[in-house]
Amino acid sequence: MRALEFVKMHGNGNDFVIIDETEKVAIKNKSSFAIKTCDRRFGIGADGVLFVSRPAGADLGMRLLQPDGSEAEMCGNGIRCLVMYAVDAGYVKRGRMTVKTKAGVREITAKRSSVVVDMGKPRFARPAIPALGTGDQFIENMHGVVVSAVNTGVPHAVIFDDQVDDDVHDLAVKIRFDPVFPLGANVDFVKVDGNTLAVRTYERGVERETLSCGTGAVAAVAVANQMGLIGTRVTVKTLGGPLKVTLRKDRALMEGPAETVYKGTYFLKKVKRRRVPDP
């Protein structure tokens, strides 16, 4: 049995187990490890496992393995947690730094109680049926609702609908697995209130609604701004708390907290391989 140190952190209730791989690879089979670790009854319990490293070409490296064993390209809440962990560990100082993700290198500014993430430029990559008269990023009448497709590091399907106050699970699952999204998509339900958005997100890989989604907050703001519904500085209310999103010409900035929940030791059991006798 091998002991592995870990830290549990969350960004607005979107929680992660952090494994430090700055000196050496701690986990070889990351997919299997994430499935076991994220289980909320038989493991630590989390929306994902973050592996922090020190790669060439960036101050920090981040990999995110999800509860179903898949790897996500990017995570807005997760990257804030990883940065705060690295600050607390002394790997980097507060201020500007870079983090390498599967979605590219992200520029980060770590403040005392929050982290600002340069999320890059939201990409409206899919051609679709124009709806609501504002461009070509909209998919009309998918499962009875108008869907806007945008990528903010991971693919998102954004819906402006009063169902933000209702049970969104069944509809979210249909859209998340719709073949129009070959890689799947996070599904965001959005309500506009002045220059504030209320957003609920069903996350692929987690396969349920989470308390907050950083890439989803940026996706919702990007679409709402394209539609002329809000300005460029927006507060996004998630179930786990608020995020601040600022749109600029060539990128979106997202700011929010990251907090340590606890530190612990995870014991890895060695699996004995038994020789199966020939029939």
State the sign of the Cα–Cα–Cα–Cα dihedral 106, 107, 110, 111: negative
N-term to C-term CA, the chain: 32
Per-residue pLDDT at 127: 42
Phi-psi region of 189 (alpha: psi -120 to 50; beta: other; left: phi over 0): beta
Q: Is 81 a catalytic residue?
A: no
Q: What is the pLDDT of residue 133?
A: 38
Q: Note if the pTM is more than 0.85.
A: yes
pLDDT digits (tens, 9 = 90+) for 154-178: 999 999 976 566 778 999 999 999 9
Q: Which of 44, 46, 75, 190 is catalytic?
A: 75
User: Does the CA dihedral 60-88-26-202 come out positive or negative?
Assistant: negative
Q: What is the dihedral of CA 16, 20, 22, 26, to 10 degrees?
A: -120
Residue 146's pLDDT is what? Answer: 86
Kindly list the structural domains of the chain, giving each domain's residue range(s) and its CATH number in brackets, ordered by start.
Answer: 2-119+258-268 (3.10.310.10), 138-250 (3.10.310.10)
| Sign, CA torsion 88/91/95/97 | negative
Taking a C-beta distance cutoff of 8 angstroms, is the pair 14, 254 a contact? no
Tens of pLDDT, residues 73-83? 999 999 999 99
Strands 71-72, 259-268: pairing kind: unpaired
Please pick, among 168, 213, 219, 229, the residue that the annotation labels catalytic. 213
Q: Report pLDDT for 279.
A: 52
Parts of the chain with a pLDDT under 70: 125-140, 162-165, 270-279
What is the spatial distance between Cα 43 and Cα 182, in angstroms, rounded to a whole number? 30
